[in-house]
């Protein structure tokens, strides 16, 4: 994980312009939002000399530091959840866009929330790529799970703290339920000619409809 | 154009003025929505044309012709 302190001022400037620098807004009661940490690729102009993998690692490294800041900002008596989420980009040449996904509520709302999200272990090539990025650093230990149910044919990766920082914080594992009918192979992520993340050739193709043998 | 392509166009600076971002649904059953301002909880228009985060008692803003055209191309009912 790349955590270049030189870039942090730039990232905080982006968050300020996007009205995301006030951390108290992520701790309102009964809140449920997912907001991108930047909204234009041109925001990352200061990284233009870097390759997409380096940009992705840098952006994700900052996003996880930001997540730690958000979670540390306030402890909740009722349930609270915060995570960085990343949707798979349309084109592999596009940098990833981390989102802050945050939720708060009482026990009744927590039950509904847990039913609304179906997270499962990482199996897609894109998910594996993000997991590699997250695991390669010196950050506190994070959990990484996948959502393949919210949108057909789109994968969203959730990254949050593996351990509860306080009792009412919902760890990612509490939202983990196997998605019915989804079968994926476990192989090394690669990129195909159209720029999509794919499973390694010869071993299978990730698909919403299941495993397709070659 | 799909909503995903519209989202990418906005990220690339190719969307109409006044559309800050195009977001995916957070959970199953929600809709794609286009935000008209930056930040968490800013006003947004759902794919079916309904409004999200519209303060009580406020009239929805009027979309410009280019915003309507862009969103219609991406499947919005506006």
What number is the ipTM of this complex? 0.92
B50 assigned to some structural domain: yes
Q: Which two tokens stand for residue A162?
A: 């593996």
Pick from B12, B32, B47: which is nearest to A91 by CA?
B12
Q: Do the domain assignments include residue B55? A: yes
Question: Where do the structural domains in chain A lie, given as residue ranges?
Answer: 5-207
Q: How many CB pairs under 8 A join A and B?
A: 63
Q: How confident is the model at residue A181 (pLDDT cuts 50, 70, 90)?
A: very low
> Which of A64, A44, A43 lies closest to A54, judged by CA?
A44
Q: What is the mean pLDDT of chain A?
A: 83
Residues contacting residue A108 through CB under 8 Å, at least 6 positions apart: none
Domain assignment present for B78: no
Q: Which of the four pLDDT bands, split at 50, 70 and 90, describes residue A201? A: very low
Report pLDDT digits (tens) over A119-158.
999 999 999 999 999 885 555 689 999 999 999 889 999 9
Residues 35-64 of A with CB under 8 A from B: 35-36, 39-42
Q: Is B39 left (phi over 0), alpha (psi -120 to 50) or beta?
A: left
Q: Answer whether residue B23 is part of any domain.
A: yes
Contact call for residues A134 and A60 (beta carbons, < 8 A): yes
pLDDT tens-digit series, residues A77-126: 999 999 999 999 988 899 999 999 999 999 999 999 998 898 999 999 99
A87 contacts on B by Cβ (under 8 Å):
24
**Residue A164 in contact with partner chain B when CB distance is under 8 A:** no
Give the pair of three-digit tokens for residue A134. 């997250």
Percent of chain B with pLDDT over 90: 82
Q: How far is Cα A134 from Cα A203, in angstroms, rounded to an integer?
A: 25
**Enclosing domain of residue B36:** 3-73
Residues paired with residue A36 on neighbouring β-strands, in sequence order: A99
Give residue A197's pLDDT. Answer: 55
Taking the CA of residue B28 and the nearest CA in chain A, the distance in Å comes to: 4
**Using a CB-CB distance cutoff of 8 angstroms, which residues of chain A are in contact with residue B41?**
25, 33
Split into its structural domains, chain B has a count of 1
Tell me if A144 sits within 8 A of A159, measured CB to CB. yes
> Nearest Cα to A64, choosing from A3, A132, A151?
A3
């Amino acid at each position: 994980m790349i955590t270049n302190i030189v870039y942090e001022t730039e990232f905080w400037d982006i968050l300020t312009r996007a009205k995301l620098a006030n951390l108290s807004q992520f701790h309102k009661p009964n809140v449920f939002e997912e907001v991108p940490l930047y909204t234009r690729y041109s925001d990352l102009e200061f990284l233009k000399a870097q390759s997409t993998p380096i940009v992705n690692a840098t952006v994700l490294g900052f996003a996880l530091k930001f997540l730690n800041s958000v979670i540390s900002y306030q402890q909740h008596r009722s349930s609270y959840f915060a995570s960085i989420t990343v949707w798979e980009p349309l084109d592999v040449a596009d940098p990833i866009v981390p989102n802050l996904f945050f939720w708060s509520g009482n026990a009744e709302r927590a039950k509904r929330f847990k039913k609304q999200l179906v997270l499962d272990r990482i199996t897609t090539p894109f998910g594996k790529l993000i997991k590699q990025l997250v695991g390669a650093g010196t950050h506190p230990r994070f959990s990484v799970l996948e959502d393949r149910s919210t949108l057909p044919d789109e994968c969203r990766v959730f990254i949050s703290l593996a351990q509860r920082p306080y009792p009412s914080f919902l760890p990612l594992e509490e939202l983990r339920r196997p998605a019915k009918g989804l079968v994926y192979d476990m192989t090394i992520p690669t990129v195909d000619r159209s720029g999509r993340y794919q499973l390694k050739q010869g071993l299978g193709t990730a698909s919403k409809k299941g495993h397709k043998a070659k | 154009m799909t909503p995903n392509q519209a989202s990418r166009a906005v990220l690339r600076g190719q969307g109409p003025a006044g559309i800050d971002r195009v977001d995916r649904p957070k959970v199953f059953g929600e809709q794609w929505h286009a935000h008209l301002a930056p930040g968490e909880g800013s006003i947004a228009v759902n794919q079916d044309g309904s409004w999200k985060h519209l303060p009580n008692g406020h009239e929805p803003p009027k979309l410009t012709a280019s915003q309507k055209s862009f969103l219609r191309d991406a499947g919005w009912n506006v």
